[in-house]
Chains A and B, each alone.
Chain A
Amino acid sequence: MFKRLFSLLSLALLLACQPDLSNKSWDVDILAPIATTSLDIKDITGDTLIQVDSDSSLLLVRRQKVYEFSLDDLVEPFSTTFENTAKLQTLDLGTRRINYSISLGQLAAQQGPPFGTIIVANHGNNLPFPAISIGNPITYPINANQYFQSMTLIDGWLVFELRNNLPIDLINFQYELINQQSQTLVISGTIPLIPANGSAKDSVQLNNNTVLEGSLIANLNNLESPGSGGVAVPIDTSDQLIVEVTVRDLKPFEATAIFPAQNLIDYTEEVIFETDFELSRIVVDTGVLYMQSISTVEEPVILEYEIPSATMGNQTLLLDGTLPPAAPGGTSLYNDSENIAGFSVNLNGINFDPNVKNTFFAELRARIDSSGNMVFLSLEDSIYLTTGIQGLMPSKIEGWLGRDTQTTDDEILPLFLFNDVQGGSFDLAAARITMELVNNFGADMMFRLTDVRAENQSTGQVAVLNWTELGQDLNVSSAQDDALNFKPIPNSAVWTLDENNSNSDELFDIQPDQLIYDLELILNPTGINNPTGFAYRHDPVEAWMNVEIPLHLSMDGIQLIDTSDFSYSELDPDNSLKGGRFTIIADNTMPIEAVVDLIALDSLGQPVDTLFAVETIAPAQVEADGKVYESVRSKIHYELNKSSIAQLKNATRMVFLGRYSTGDLPTQVKLYDHYSTELKLTGNFQYRVN
């Protein structure tokens, strides 16, 4: 502050004194205010802890949760996995039919004169049909490539049916079916008689890895006819002998074919929701439904995992996707997952039977649609499918929660009432504690509190609570379910500890920093099954402790300590301070005397110097009505010598250590809202002007 003033004055003098004499320096005595502050009991203990009573006296009030019991303590996160593998033996290649026909004209043309010529010449006439014998093999290609190129069959049937629309019986019909490419025989046989305008069948089982190619050759090795027996029959060269080849019930080992649409996997499974309760419904808070699949199938595979028990609105829980076709010799992958938060899961089983509990069901389907593409599939192809639920935690459960006992021994509860108090002692006139139990569960609760004690870890002092209700049953009825708003309507009970039924004030006289207790919590203590029970995850059962300590006390050397940042450079930017002293001018309306020491800390938090106060901030005088109306002024001096100044330069923080005592011990004084100590920090410094 004075730097500027002295700069101006010095400048005026020095500029006038030519030649330049600005290298002069001298010491001045500066007397100046530095800082002002007001200290009251709220500053010492924190605003949030202090409340004003109706008579303007002060109360130290703290509400602290001492116990919590939530759904997470009852239910473990639920996870389950389903694994399925689908093989090609379940594939269906369908029924394939191939028709082939031979007309009378074709037979005549192949037979040649004279028979052939006569038949052709008498088309449309009636003519006795002579006996014929076709001994030369007739070869016809049969093309099934529109259905498959090749297949190796474990099982299946090939049916060879002949429908004779010619006017004559056919006998000794010898045939064979050969794979065109490999020239392997698929089937051969002889049909002794095919009556005129009648039919005959032959079939063969295709097993033992019979190979069937899409390009086949049908050989007609022999065909005879006794003729019409001299009876004139109508000659129509368009009459046909129709050959129909049918393959069915195929079980291929491998095939290159066009596969029809079909299901590969389709089953339903009931899943048990592992819990000790008997639940009829849960609402999911967190959880993921997932699906991981690997396929060697060269067709797209459609996957669906559905839990019909789980709904949200009108929507059931469904995870679906399509496995892409695998490359030949390779695999394809498909992963998917879905957050299932918010789904309501019925746990009454597959038939939604109210008597069934903790059970839901899931359906898994895998299928292919006919793509129309010719693909190679083998029995070695497979679909590996993993589905499941991960980390399911309910936000609400419904049902019977069971009878359960939770016990905590030597539970430690940190107290934050006297954190800034480092030493000394006080004696409280009274202290009041209210215990509040809040039941948010749809189950009756019973608490039993035993062995409560307060401990000051610094001094090792322990104070044991004496309370008439200790060890007694403290019952709280079930909460009501406000299902529409998805929240409970809690039920609570309150017990008060005061000087009439306990020694509550003695607990706090030792300035405890923790409370230690034993607690027993019994859920549904009667054990009667209540199927309408419930619990919400985010609404736990809670126990609260409300402490009210009227600041009516005596104190002896109570130490309060706190730290402020300290910047020496702001006080003395040019390092010109040579000595002097700080003075605290205190106007005190508190009936408490105080000694405040200033401790300088370096950046590591180590004390570098302590300015000890040799004087005391005097307490204000209490009038006859127990209140203070006039402040008392004190001046506290802190000498600064060269050594302390040197140490202050290394300081980055300043600790204010106050020791407070009520003046007339052991009389207890009551503290009121208007009490405070106005502090003004001044400095009387020897300052070197350069």
Chain B
Amino acid sequence: MRLLSTVVLALSVLGLSAQMGDSISLKTQVYLDAYSELGSNGITMGSFFDYFSASFLDEELKDELTSDLRAKNGVGSSQDLEIGFRQWRDSTYSRWRQGFGIHYAFRSRAGVNASDNAILMTLYGNARFAGQTVDLLPLDELSMNWSEIGYTHIQRSKNLEWSASANLLFGHSFNSIESEKGTVFTEESGEYIDFDTRYTFKSSDSLLLLKGMGASIHFDVSYDLKGPWRVGLGVRDFGVIAWSRSSWEVNADSTFRFEGEEIPNLFDPSNEVFTGTGDRLEKTFYNPESGSQTTFLPTRIIGEVGYTVPWNFAKEISLRTDYIFLPGYSLRNRIRLDIPLNKAWSLKPEISQGGFARWGIGIGVQWKHPDWLIQLEAQNIQWTVASASSYGIGGQLKVAYNL
């Protein structure tokens, strides 16, 4: 909180000092920004829809889901819903255009990076792996939901625009699995199973809507180089959430052979068959320790280069690279073309590689008015023409209104 207060104070001082002696005009904008994306690099879009529409996964569907698996399979989703307002102060004498904003956002991140073996064992069981040592790694997962209230300082000049947000976070849910080791060997007849595992499983566990609190910052900067080039850099969701004491953590580091429950004498009536095994294994694999814990947010880093093209039909071509520190999410590169149709309308087609999916095609439509901005984007629409590829679906809606 001290850090947050310091940042807000510094930004305010900067803003006030810049206003001294100026003639000022104010411009205020309210906006809504909704973004959703989910995808996998190991499951096709068609399979995903089949999966989504089925309550029971029969053998055919399981085969379909696993037909295109890789050694490492990412599955994940990301959602943001943000509303807020921004206000700019234009100065007659200053080269800077300054502003600030306040927003509320709900954000959700979930991702898993799982080996094909882990997915196959999950869907089919261990019987098909009898006689084999199965390496389940990688097997990592992170999911987190939180909401934030933030203050943003914005500063623009002719060539440079930057903004920084300080945010107060309210954690809603959190789960993570970090696996360092995970092999399973099932003897051919099921005589024994060897486990060699080391993983950490953390979870928030509270009936309260608010399960933790934290802070984060967003920072975006864009600079127009001389000539047609433009570069940008962004860091989003850099921060931590401290989860309440009712959260818990499981640390399992175990190598052992399970041979079933030992019954000293099968003909002894005091024996009870099939008892105690669950308890013993639970202590080995699943012995949670409760207590408060602090976790980093899945930070997103964005880099962008834009080039103003001398074409009649297009305005700019840009390359955008981003990465989220989230299991299953790979570095994503996106090439986008800005095609103005007229003064108000423009199209933004794109091709992407990475992220949750392997690759994708998207299209955006933007409508601009002196007081309105409406932008609708659809990403990863390639499944309509190439269903055999990995699945992914995403979309973005931006609505802004100048008061």
Q: Which residues of A contact B (CB under 8 A)?
A: 1-6, 8-13, 15-18, 21, 23-39, 43-44, 420, 560, 562-568, 570-571, 573, 583, 585, 635, 654, 656, 679-684, 687, 689
Contacts and interface: CB of A to CB of B under 8 A. Distances in A.
Given A1-B281, A680-B260, A33 B201 contact: no
Contacts of B62: 26
Contacts of B260: 32-36, 680-682
Contacts of B278: 1, 3, 570, 573
B328 interface: yes
B267 A570 contact: no
B56 A35 contact: no
Contact of B75 (A16, A39, A684): A16
11 contacts: A15-B112, A16-B77, A18-B79, A24-B54, A29-B126, A33-B190, A33-B258, A37-B264, A43-B268, A565-B272, A682-B190
B177 A8 contact: yes
Given A32-B193, A35-B260, A35-B261, 7 more contacts: A9-B121, A12-B139, A13-B75, A28-B122, A28-B127, A29-B126, A682-B189
Nearest to B192: A33
A571 B274 contact: yes
Chain A residues touching B, majority SS: strand
B286 A680 contact: no
Interface residues of B, number: 68
Nearest to A598: B273
Contacts of A4: 281-282, 285-286
B175 A36 contact: no
A28 B125 contact: yes
B271 to A, nearest CB: 5
Contacts of A30: 125-127
A29 B143 CA distance: 28
Given A32-B190, A36-B263, A683-B190, A567 B38 contact: no
Interface in B242-290: 258-269, 271-278, 281-282, 285-286
B128 A43 contact: no
Interface of B: 38, 51-52, 54-59, 62, 75-77, 79, 108, 110-112, 114, 118-119, 121-128, 130, 136, 139, 141, 143, 175, 177, 186, 189-193, 201, 258-269, 271-278, 281-282, 285-286, 328
Given A4-B286, A16-B77, A684-B127, A635 B268 contact: no
B121 A31 contact: no
Given A565-B269, A679-B266, A36 B261 contact: yes
B125 A16 contact: no
The 6 closest A-B pairs by CB, nearest first: A28-B125, A33-B260, A29-B127, A26-B57, A682-B190, A562-B267
Contacts of A43: 265-268
Contact of B274 (A563, A567, A679, A680): A567
A680 B114 contact: no
Contact of A567 (B126, B275, B328): B275
Contacts of A6: 122
B272 A17 contact: no
A13 B122 contact: yes
A1 B258 contact: yes
A564 B189 CA distance: 24
Contact of A12 (B177, B258, B259, B276): B177
B190 A37 contact: no
Given A17-B38, A585-B189, A566 B273 contact: yes
A18 B278 CA distance: 31
B261 to A, nearest CB: 5
A635 B192 CA distance: 15
A16 B122 contact: no
Contacts of B271: 564-565
A16 B112 contact: yes
Contacts of B273: 34-35, 564-567, 654, 681
A364 B61 CA distance: 105
B139 A570 contact: no
Nearest to B125: A28
A680 B56 contact: no
Given A24-B56, A563-B269, A15 B193 contact: no
A465 B122 CA distance: 68
Contacts of A44: 267
B35 to A, nearest CB: 13
Contact of A16 (B136, B141, B193, B264): B141
A369 to B, nearest CB: 69
Contact of B130 (A8, A24, A31): A31
Given A31-B186, A567-B274, A583-B189, A24 B263 contact: no
Contacts of B114: 9, 12-13
A356 to B, nearest CB: 61
A57 to B, nearest CB: 22
A36 B52 CA distance: 42
B126 A17 contact: no
B353 to A, nearest CB: 20
Given A35-B261, A560-B267, A562-B269, A21 B52 contact: yes
B266 A564 contact: yes
A317 to B, nearest CB: 51
B65 to A, nearest CB: 10
A36 B259 contact: yes
A266 B274 CA distance: 80
Contacts of B79: 18
Nearest to A566: B273
Nearest to B119: A13
Contacts of A36: 259-263
A31 B126 contact: yes
Contacts of A654: 273
B189 A9 contact: no
Given A566-B273, A567-B273, A25 B125 contact: no
Nearest to A3: B278
A2 B192 CA distance: 13
Nearest to A565: B272
Contacts of A10: 122
Contacts of A17: 38, 75, 77, 110
B76 A16 contact: yes
A39 B266 CA distance: 7
Contacts of B136: 9
A596 to B, nearest CB: 9
A680 B286 CA distance: 26
Nearest to B43: A17
Nearest to A682: B190
Contacts of B275: 567, 570
A28 B190 contact: no
B123 A26 contact: yes
B36 to A, nearest CB: 9
A615 to B, nearest CB: 13
Contacts of B143: 15-16
A566 B112 CA distance: 40
A15 B274 contact: no
A576 to B, nearest CB: 12
Contacts of A18: 38, 77, 79, 108, 110
B62 to A, nearest CB: 6
B123 to A, nearest CB: 6
Contacts of B126: 2, 28-32
Contact of A5 (B52, B77, B119, B285): B285
A361 to B, nearest CB: 60
Nearest to A28: B125
A681 B266 CA distance: 11
Contacts of B59: 27
B328 A16 contact: yes
Contacts of A11: 141, 175, 177
Nearest to B264: A37
Contacts of B58: 26
Given A5-B285, A18-B79, A24-B55, A564 B201 contact: no
